[in-house]
Amino acid sequence: MRKGGGLRFLLAGGLNTAVTYLLYLGLLPVAGYQASYAIAFVTGIAISYVLGRVFVFQAHQGYRSVLMLPLVYLVQYAVGAAVVWAWIDVLHQHAMLAPAIAIAATLPLTYFLSKLAFVGKIR
């Protein structure tokens, strides 16, 4: 992996976030916040896999990466869904901001787990 992986991760994540957030907002009026978040999240996994392999880490560990990345995002989803739930149902904040709060809370965890999936080490 070349230097600058953290910056490429942020750029790829920014693109992924923009696409999935717009999807979430588009689905919100018709599907509710939980279904909208889940659909946008699964779409984000596919985008993340492509961008992570080709642009961010420029590495791949064969089936290990293919199998580990969904697990990384399963962990991120669980943490993010808890943050979304707490933001909306416990703190009574607006649903439109919930995904942004979840992303901020899970970003460092996702970077290190993704790097482990694609590169096989944290350093």
Higher pLDDT, 61 or 15: 15
Query: Which of the four pLDDT bands, split at 50, 70 and 90, describes residue 123?
Result: low
Give the predicted TM-score (pTM) of the model: 0.66
Burial letters 35-64, b for 16+ CB under 10 A, else e: ebbebbbeebbebbbebbbeebbebbbeee
